[in-house]
Chains A and B, each alone.
Chain A
Amino acid sequence: MKELDFSRMFTLGQYLPGTSPLHRLTPQVKLIGIILLTAGLLVTSPVLGTLAGIGLLIILSLIAGIPMKFLFRNALPVLPFLILIALLQLFFTVAGNSPVLYSWGRFTITGAGVLNSLAIFLRFFALMGLLTLFTAVTPSREIGHGTENLTMPLARIGFPAHAFSLIITITFRFIPLLTEETESIMKAQTSRGARIGTAKNPVKRIISYMPILVPLFTASLQRAEQLAEAMEARCFRQGEERTRYVTYRYTLRDGIALGVSILFFGLFLLFRLGQWERVFIQ
């Protein structure tokens, strides 16, 4: 029955409780930080900019007290693919004006090729580390609250800020519930003699999934309807007058974190605009 136990497969980020300055940041600041840094890493120059990002990541993980090993522990399964892609980039990047570093038969290594393959590694590790760190210091409820506080100003122009954050909160609340639901549907169908996922033939396999998926969807829709009724019965109303059990206050720490995020976003853009890596390519 081990294959029916999904709870341990829940890998969408793992929260590590702690009291580090990074843990105690206001949720809004954490969200702004992760958005700025992710966007920055995506636009920055492939090698120098990403190296700066990895530098920042090392400092942040030291502050948070989360070992680098934890941030990259899931990199192993994908490493062979990464190496393969990087090797292909190394040999097959065609750039007319790039200096040829090494040539052997039809394989040529150019400056641009080295740069491209290096960039694939660095960018993947930087983003992986950053997102893992974010989920490690942010409990799920803070993501909902942070989104709400962050989008509140938009509510004036008609953006359903409260509704949106509530959707996120419901999603996080229902992930473990629905995982359990899936397990019990599977057990129920197995006890009725269903053979799930054992067929080698993909078409038969999809057909064997149907008795799981359709009840899962209808059960979820039922739960959504019950939840809506329960909330209405308790006079739930959307709007500014709602208060919360947990409130967040901005402190000096948040100001510093915000400053550092903006600073690094600017730095990433600078690396992009500066194009200092051109020396390798031309």
Chain B
Amino acid sequence: MKETLSIKKITVAGVLSAVAVVLGITPFGIIPWFSGASITIMHVPVIIAAVLEGPVVGMVVGLIFGVSSMIKAAVSPGGVLDPYFVNPLISVLPRIIIGLIAWLVYRGLKRWELPAVIAAALAGTFTNTVLVIGSLGLFANINWEEMLGIGFWPLFGSVFVANGIPEAIGAAIICTAVIASWKKIEGSTKKSSLEDIDGEDQE
């Protein structure tokens, strides 16, 4: 364990964390949805980081995303659930785990590159949905039954179907587009002619 992170891993982690924060402050991170509750794609940088640079980078980006969402909930709250997101058990911990799960899924299916990316995006998003709502149920001390008229588990299920699934599809589309163009996965893009020139120069 003497080896520290490579410079490229450090810069990618830093920049993708910044993307997660930027998505939070611009309107692109949160999209109004049919079900009333908005859907989010702010966790996408975490998945991309995990797929491109491994679990450590994914978890670091998740940590910074989580802390930024916690500070945002406290400093400029905008939604009904924001008062609960000042609790790091709800806002930070689940986001760290996204990176780990997304990487594990990607690693397991690595033989088929594109399906692996899609599966990692789906798994990462569902981790986010399940763990954030789950920790809300565990730690937020809300009496769901009386407050919203339905119990916690039916609520969990309906949020999962109404928000989790569209979020996962959105995340899968963005991750595939970004990673395919970045890694130049076979068949998705052609190699640029400039790179051939670079290669010759180095020899």
- A104 CB-CB contact with B under 8 Å: no
Q: Contacting chain B: which of A16-24, A72-80, A255-263?
A: A72-80
Asked whether any CB of chain B lies closer than 8 Å to the CB of A149, the reply is no
List of A residues within 8 angstroms of B15 by Cβ: 170-171, 174, 178, 220-221, 223-224, 227
Chain B CB within 8 A of A217 CB: yes
Contact yes or no, B143 A217, CB < 8 A: no
B4 adjacent to A170 (CB under 8 Å): no
CB <8 Å contact, A228 and B8 = yes
- A217's nearest neighbour on chain B, judged by CB, is B178
3 shortest interchain CB distances as A-B pairs = A170-B14, A92-B146, A174-B18
* Nearest neighbor of A174 in chain B, beta-carbon distance: B18
Report the bound CA distance from A216 to B52 in whole Å.
16
Number of interface residues of A (CB under 8 A): 74
- Tell me the complex Cα distance, A206–B81, Å: 23
Nearest residue (CB) in B for A203 is B166
- Residues B79 and A81 in contact, CB atoms below 8 Å apart: yes
**Interchain CB contact under 8 A, B5 and A163:** yes
Q: What per-residue 1/0 map shows which CB atoms of B9-50 lie under 8 Å from chain A?
A: 111111111110110111110011110000101001100100
Contacts beyond the supplied A120-B83, A170-B15: 4 A-B pairs with Cβ under 8 Å: A92-B147, A94-B143, A163-B9, A167-B64
| B64 close to A217 (CB less than 8 A) | no
Chain B residues whose C-beta falls within 8 Å of the C-beta of A10 in the assembled complex: 25
Give bound CA distance, A225 to B52, whole Å. 12
Indicate whether A167 sits within 8 Å of B10 (C-beta atoms), given known contacts A6-B25, A221-B15.
yes
- Is A162 interfacial (CB-CB < 8 Å)? yes
B182 at the interface (CB under 8 A from A): yes
Question: Is residue B177 within 8 Å, beta carbon to beta carbon, of the partner chain?
Answer: yes
Instruction: Kindly list chain B residues whose C-beta atoms are within 8 Å of the C-beta of A62.
Output: none
B137 within 8 A of A: no
Least CB distance, B132 to chain A, in whole angstroms: 17
A214 contacts B by Cβ under 8 Å: yes
A276 within 8 A of B: no
Contact A12 B60 (CB under 8 A): no
A77, B78: Cβ atoms under 8 Å?
A: yes
A203 to B21 Cα, complex, angstroms:
23
0/1 string, B35-76, CB within 8 A of A gives 1 = 000010100110010001000000010001000101110111
| Selected contact of B22 from candidates A135, A179, A232, CB within 8 Å | A179
Binding-face segment, A53-61, A124-132, A241-249: A124-132
> Which residues A1-40 have CB closer than 8 A to chain B?
6, 9-13, 38
A135 / chain B contacts, CB cutoff of 8 Å: 71, 75
Residue among A42, A84, A166, A182 making CB contact with B14, cutoff 8 Å: A166
Of A75, A89, A228, the contact of B11 (CB 8 Å cutoff): A228
In the docked arrangement, what's the CA distance between A212 and B177, Å? 12
Q: Mark A226-251, 1 if CB is under 8 A from B, else 0.
A: 01100110001010000000000000
Of all chain A residues, the one with the shortest Cβ separation from B175 is A217
- Is A274 positioned at the interface, with any CB of B under 8 Å from its CB? no
A127 with B72: CB separation less than 8 A: no
Q: Given that A178-B22, A218-B182, A220-B16 are known contacts, is A158 also in contact with B1, CB under 8 Å in the complex?
A: yes
- Cross-chain contact A132 with B74 (CB below 8 angstroms): yes
CB pair A131–B11 under 8 Å, yes or no, is: no
Bound together, the chains give a CA A218 to CA B56 distance in angstroms of 21
Measured CA separation A220–B22 after assembly (Å): 11
Instruction: Kindly state whether residue A169 has any CB partner on chain B within 8 Å.
Output: yes
B80 within 8 A of A: yes
**B174 touching A210 by the CB < 8 A rule?**
yes
